[in-house]
Amino acid sequence: MSAIELNLGEDHRARLLEGLAVSIREKGLTGTQITDIVGHAKASRRTFYQCFPDKDACFLELAERLRNALLEVVEAAVDPDASWERQVEQAVDAYLGLLAADPKMAIAFSSELPTLGARWMAIRTEGIERFAELVVRLSGSPSMQAGGVEPLSMEKAVMIVAGIDGMVVRAVHRDESILELAAPAKAVVKGAFGGR
């Protein structure tokens, strides 16, 4: 599976975000300077500062856009006509596969994004909420209900999503394979879905 394609368009802001993504993949967020971003974007520093007050603001917007793209990819990967067990496998495989395909970005989000304090926490909380909403929506689909799955509460979905997020952060910090998390993640989600 390849890294998430953002399809940002051609405007200055989009090019700068893509420039940041390229630089993160080359040298990490900490090693990235504004000159790296504008160099990859083929833009000027003046243009950068017209779009973003600083590198952190650019990174936060990139994080939001990547999260939204990841949500779309995961939802699209789930075949609504498949068994509920297969749907769980498809969602987990899509999520972990995309993170594993872009390890430099996964490291930036797990290790460097938290240094942004309250702004990071807001993005992380919103991301968990958005993925939990997807889990609730999937658990309430007709095929899930036909398989005996009871729709999950938002609270239970948040616990599942936050738990998988914590597993990913742990794996990244230990330099372990994100894909190795697939089996335990699937087991936890299937256990929560239960089925009759």
Whether residue 3 is contained in a domain is answered as no
Domain that holds residue 135: 12-193
| Residue 23 neighbours by CB under 8 Å, 6+ apart | 31, 32, 36, 37, 40
The CATH number covering residue 58 comes to 1.10.357.10
- Per-residue pLDDT averaged across 176-187, rounded? 95
pLDDT for position 117: 75
Q: Tell me: the pLDDT tens digits for 102-128?
A: 988 888 887 777 777 787 788 888 989
Residues 42 and 15: beta-carbon distance below 8 Å: yes
Q: Tell me: the pLDDT tens digits for 60-92?
A: 999 999 999 999 999 999 999 999 999 999 999
Total number of domains in the chain: 1
